[in-house]
Amino acid sequence: MTTKIWHNPRCSKSRQTLALLEEQGINPEIQLYLENAPTAQDIEQALTLLGKAPRDLMRRGEALYKDLGLDDPALSHADLVAAMMAHPKLIERPVVFHQGKAALGRPPEQVLEIL
């Protein structure tokens, strides 16, 4: 099964996580998620595998999060997933998928738990 990373090369944690995977002998499929946004199904799968709610996978410190009013408790799960799909900058990174499991690379060493 292919290992995959939702990667942003401008992010130090994302670069460190990718380097850590490569040190482990893993050459993951790299999805530049800002250019090739995950689908709603991809985001739902990530949430399920991570055991997280949508806001737990969102960069709540981003100005865009506030500008879009995403802290509104009336927003549904589907609303938040749609926001991440439309604005992938909101997705916390990096996310690594490996053999039916997923981990958020914050800190990068956290991905070692699924390898």
Q: How far is CA 89 from CA 5, 34, 57, 63, 101, in A?
A: 15, 6, 11, 10, 23
Annotated catalytic residue, options 2, 8, 10, 11: 11
52: which residues sit within 8 A by CB, 6+ positions away?
A: none
- Is residue 111 among the annotated active site residues? no
C-beta neighbour count of 26 within 10 angstroms:
16
Catalytic residues: 11
